[in-house]
Amino acid sequence: MSDYYNYVDLVTYAGLYNRRFHTPEYVVYKCNDDVSKMYTLNGGYHNIRGPAYIVNFRRGCKCFESYYLNGELHNRNGPAHIEYYENGCKCSKSYYLNDKLHNRNGPAFIAYYKNGCKKHESYWINGKCHNTNGPAYIAYYENGCKKCESYYLNDKFHNSNGPAIIQYNRNGEIIRKDYWVDGENKQK
């Protein structure tokens, strides 16, 4: 006999229940035509084969999807959390390892405007805003021009070779510079 059986509540959810551990392993939840799909293990989100938590808008488009392992946001092969606009375009994507923002190969968090252009991006290592090769945070205007860039090392404003914070107007001209080293303001 299988350790699993299907159960259905006609109003709210349907799924697969683990009889041995007395926990749902897979649940589809419907509320106001939004549909959620969740995979769990021992009370936490968990799925080794794909996203553990998926929510769709009423029209069937994805609202967001999250990859979890043992209750922690985690994905070694790409973003662990992706959000979408109702038009289907990406709203943001976040890279996590062991529940901490982390990506050694590029930005760990990227947000987008509805038109698909980048809104801002940030670099994170082990849950700390950090980039040794340039700015760790970059914001953009909808036209794609830089709005702001900030340099961080180990979650502190830091740039020993120039300004740690630079702000731009819509034409790309610098309107403000702030100098920081190891988290201390060093205005020139």
Across 56-85, average pLDDT? 91
- Do the Cβ atoms of 12 and 28 come closer than 8 Å? no
Domain boundary among 101, 127, 159: 101
Residue 49 neighbours by CB under 8 Å, 6+ apart: none
pLDDT of residue 132: 96
Provide the domain limits for residue 173. 115-188
pLDDT of residue 148: 98
- Can you tell me whether residue 119 is helix, strand or coil? strand
Of the listed ranges 6-20, 39-53, 129-143, the one predicted with least confidence: 6-20
Query: What's the total number of domains in the chain?
Result: 2
Domain boundary among 101, 128, 149: 101
138 and 87: one domain? no
Alpha-carbon gap, residue 93 to 98, rounded angstroms:
16
- Do the Cβ atoms of 115 and 99 come closer than 8 Å? no
Alpha-carbon gap, residue 187 to 156, rounded angstroms:
16
Domain boundary among 56, 72, 101: 101
Give the other-Cβ count within 10 Å of 16's Cβ: 15
For the stretch 96-115, pLDDT in tens is 999 999 999 999 999 999 99
Q: Is the predicted pLDDT of residue 23 greater than 50, yes or no?
A: no
80 and 149: one domain? no
Alpha-carbon gap, residue 39 to 51, rounded angstroms:
8
